[in-house]
Chains A and B, each alone.
Chain A
Amino acid sequence: MAAPQPINVEDLNIYYGDFLAVEGVDVQIRPRSVTALIGPSGCGKSTFLRTLNRMHEVIPGAYAQGKVEINGENIYDPRVDPVNVRRRVGMVFQKANPFPTMSIRDNVLAGVKLNSRRISKSAAEELLEGSLKGANLWNEVKDRLDKPGMGLSGGQQQRLCIARTIAVKPEVVLMDEPCSALDPISTLAIEDLVHELKEEYTIVIVTHNMQQASRVSDRTGFFNIAGTGKPGHLIEIDDTQQMFTNPSNKQTEDYISGRFG
């Protein structure tokens, strides 16, 4: 496997119809590391996250202009099929969303079975176990793989979704506030998992929780908006340590120290 390259975002403008939601993002996201995105509600951090796997555009009227290079390939090139982008850039959502009609096994293998990709039974079992172990869920579910995924607890469901995401072997995993609906213990389990996942994947995580950002991430980016109806901007991105102790921008400092607004 080739050495992983950073995700290169250049001059990215993100629109909902006529409304410019996020303006002029220029950033390099380091491979095999965790980048946290923080900022007040409505500042565009989730919107930005969703442009990294072109999930943004599933909302009618939404689109993005600019360049996002993953492994040297601009995913906004007109020749690029968003379906292929999403296979390489997985996503974990705010609320756990296992497929309700599927068993735990089928949930994990759902992405692999898509696109008529054939997989032998033994390879499927191996992938199933590997993905569930990768999501720290194997020991809890190995005796009930054929039970519905919805029967798990909220935290387990979220880890099931992570297993489902890594089962398709993406290069990047995007997480959109993955712990916002979870209790502290489940949150801790996910955070531990994020630490392990960065060995293999580039992770971008949006969070409202600044302690979480400081706990899990190597680098932190701060998004902000000037006011309602104005576009969001990436104000600053730096090593997490630096951001939380000595940010270079006044806005970041105000936000982090709670003196916001």
Chain B
Amino acid sequence: MSTTDVTPKTPEATSPSMASSRRRMGDSVFSALSIGSGLLIFVTLALVAVFLTTESMPAVMESKEIIGDASAFSLLETTLPLIFGTILAAAIALAIAIPVSIGIALFISHYAPRRLASGLGYMIDLLAAVPSVVYGLWGGIWLVPKLEPLYLFLNSTLGTWPSWPGFVPFVGGEPVVALFAGDPTAPMRNLASAAIVLAVMILPIITAVAREIFLQTPRLQEEAALALGATRWETIRTVVLPFGKSGVVAASMLGLGRALGETMAVLMILAPGATFSFHILEVGMHQSIAANIASKQAEASGTDMSLLIFTGLVLFVLTFIINALARWIVARSGVKS
């Protein structure tokens, strides 16, 4: 639109101002919608937090720790073993999944021929889409018996390893961290089995994020290493892994978040217990928060329900911290996942 028009014909053209008092209908509707959707997330999160806090209050108030009555139930004694089991299972799952994921991601990004690489990428994504209840079935029925010889072997050969001191337990257990010690009995519905299935479940997310980051390694950096006479592995070690380090950490955090909250696989595989034992091969020693809630909530009421909700609050806070940590690392490194 030009202002040098000699004969302005329309009122708009005569007006020097482009201001319009009339707001466009579509704009305001869309703006309200998107603001509303954004707010909804905060509201939902707040509602969940408020629900968890208020509903868990009765259990907290009736606990031994608050009222000082020795005959009352102990909040710590019921909750801490669950936290311990949750974190131990997730930690073992991570310890298995991280190296395997890095290996798969490097294979896809740097070793595999292009067609195989994309096919494998789809397979990994597919692995992420399998419902956890299916993993639970597979793990409980097929995997657990298969693992028995391995467990017995580990127990007999590495039973006293590693023997560094563990933390002082609240309930039972031994003051030594010997992962494969104890008395494993079939069926091997122990923490190790649950952790292995958890590892399979978190493998896709770690692999997918790590692969993306490895692929983003600047071409020029890789060529710099190659031109110095680096082999493929040396190129990966000097350029790709340092570049992807923070991304892999962030990916692992995302995996950890999932492992902490995963319910079905643990519920269907693990024979529960409530100790601080590091003996991951022993059956009936551990339980995770999520699986505990799922197994008990149908019959629970009153204080029991309130106690379950309290453990839910603990899990909520735990995953919240892990996710925040992952985001902080990603943001700090500037790598997009």
Contacts and interface: CB of A to CB of B under 8 A. Distances in A.
Interface of A: 53, 55, 58, 60, 83-84, 86-87, 90-91, 93, 95, 97-101, 110-111, 114-115, 161, 164-165, 168
A60 B221 contact: no
A100 B223 CA distance: 13
A85 to B, nearest CB: 8
A123 B337 CA distance: 42
B221 A100 contact: yes
Given A60-B114, A95-B220, A114-B234, A53 B227 contact: yes
Contacts of B239: 99
B223 A86 contact: no
Contacts of B180: none
Interface string B220-232: 1111111111110
Q: Which 9 A-B pairs have CB atoms at the shortest separation, nearest pair first? A: A87-B229, A111-B228, A91-B227, A101-B242, A97-B220, A97-B224, A86-B229, A114-B234, A114-B230
Contacts, number: 69
A55 B221 CA distance: 13
Contact of A55 (B218, B223, B234, B238): B223
B243 interface: yes
28 contacts: A55-B223, A55-B226, A55-B227, A58-B222, A58-B226, A60-B114, A83-B231, A87-B228, A87-B229, A90-B228, A91-B227, A97-B221, A97-B223, A99-B224, A99-B225, A99-B239, A99-B242, A100-B221, A100-B242, A110-B228, A114-B225, A114-B228, A115-B229, A115-B230, A115-B231, A115-B234, A164-B228, A168-B228
A106 to B, nearest CB: 9
A93 B224 contact: yes
Contact of B221 (A58, A84, A99, A165): A99
Contact of B243 (A53, A87, A100): A100
Given A83-B229, A84-B229, A100-B243, A114 B224 contact: no
B221 A168 contact: no
A58 B230 contact: no
Given A86-B226, A97-B218, 9 more contacts: A58-B226, A84-B229, A95-B220, A99-B221, A100-B221, A110-B225, A110-B238, A115-B229, A115-B230
Interface residues of B, number: 19
A44 to B, nearest CB: 18
Contacts of A86: 226-230
Contacts of B225: 99, 110, 114
A4 to B, nearest CB: 19
B238 A99 contact: yes
A183 B5 CA distance: 48
Contacts of A53: 227
B236 to A, nearest CB: 12
Contacts of A168: 228-229
Interface in B235-267: 238-239, 242-243
A93 B228 contact: no
B243 A90 contact: no
A161 B225 CA distance: 11
Contacts of A90: 227-228
A58 B221 CA distance: 13
A93 B227 CA distance: 10
B242 A111 contact: no
